[in-house]
Amino acid sequence: MRIAVAGGTGVVGRHVVELARARGHEVDVLSRSKGVDLTAAGTVDLTGVEAIVDVTSVSTTIASKAKAFFTATARNLLAAGQAAGVGHYVLLSIAGIDGAPFGYYAGKLEQERLVSEGSMPWTILRATQFHEFAGQIHQRMKVGPLSLVPAMRSQPIAAREVASRLVDLAEAGPAGRVPDLAGPQEERMADLSRRWAKATGKKGIVVEAAIPGEFGQAMRDGTLLARPGAEHGSQTFDQWLQSAH
């Protein structure tokens, strides 16, 4: 089948593209580096496409920016999909976001709402943090030699396993909200960051910091874990570290 991967150059998107091609699908990659800005109306032609996999993202913690990005990209994909008669919109979202007040998640919730209330049959998969997240967060909050990592419970999963599930879902057809997808075991984000730093030779000390407020509480109390009935990937964080670094 022909699949358009919106965000197909990103952390999970590049695996979606590679795995879909390996399974014999024709893949269109939609991203700015491929000449398509999905925040600009009328820039995408989905003629011949049977399914969209949306794994776009924006780097922000500000709700208004996240909402503006995810609203524009979802509306443009829905409009282009409707014009071309695309039969399926597969969206990747994040486990637990409705219980955790955070600007980026407000954008994801709006994106979920637009897709689920939109004109195209849909599937929404919520996944937990990717294994890559521990390294990203280690580098993001640096104070001198310290890396501040939020006190956070997580069930990290290999982005490649999430990508494989997204291709399964695109092939299977519209299914609505499907079970969450999580990694094989629960971890603490600060421990993951320490193991990532050791494996990649990054210097400095990881300090686990309790983030104040409701969002910090949600990170600590398990709100961001997968909900009951979730499916689980098999590659542990340490196996991923060994294979990737």
Ligand X SMILES: NC(=O)c1ccc[n+]([C@@H]2O[C@H](COP(=O)([O-])OP(=O)(O)OC[C@H]3O[C@@H](n4cnc5c(N)ncnc54)[C@H](OP(=O)(O)O)[C@@H]3O)[C@@H](O)[C@H]2O)c1
Cβ proximity of 118 and 81 under 8 Å: no
**If binding is defined by CB under 6 A, does position 133 make contact with ligand X?**
yes
Least spacing, CB of residue 144 vs ligand X, in Å: 26
56 sits near ligand X (criterion: CB under 6 A) = yes
Question: Quick check: helix, strand or coil at residue 207?
Answer: strand
SS3 231: strand
Q: To the nearest 10°, report the CA torsion of 44, 45, 48, 54.
A: 10
The answer to the question of residue 20 lying near ligand X (CB under 6 A) is no
Q: Which of 7, 81, 96, 135 binds ligand X (CB under 6 A)?
A: 7
Please tell me whether residue 208 adopts helix, strand or coil conformation. Answer: strand
Chosen residue from 127, 167, 192, 219 binding ligand X by CB under 6 A: 127
Which CB, 10 or 121, lies closer to ligand X? 10
Nearer to ligand X, 38 or 218 (CB): 38
Crossing angle (nearest 10°) for helices 159-172 and 13-22: 50
Interface residue with ligand X among 120, 123, 129, 215 (CB under 6 A) is 129
Does 3 bind ligand X (CB under 6 A)? Our answer is no
CB 174 within 8 A of CB 123: yes
Check binding of 137 to ligand X (CB under 6 A): no
Window 163-222: residues binding ligand X (CB under 6 A): none
- β-partners of residue 149 are 208
64, burial (CB in 10 Å: exposed 0-12, middle 13-18, buried 19+): exposed
What residues form DSSP beta bridges with 147? 142, 206
Phi, psi values for residue 172, rounded to 5°: -80, -20
Per CB under 6 A, does 12 bind ligand X? yes
* 154 touching ligand X, by CB under 6 A: no
| Count, residues in the chain | 245
Kindly state whether residue 125 participates in binding ligand X, applying the rule CB under 6 A: no
- When binding is defined by CB under 6 A, the residue of 38, 100, 109, 124 that contacts ligand X is 38
Counting contacts by CB under 6 A, is residue 19 touching ligand X?
A: no
Sole residue written with tokens 């299977």: 172
| Interface with ligand X, residue 11, by CB under 6 A | yes
Among 13, 135, 150, 183, binds ligand X (CB under 6 A): 13
Q: Which residues bind ligand X (CB under 6 A)?
A: 7-13, 30-33, 36-39, 55-58, 92, 94, 108, 127, 129-130, 133
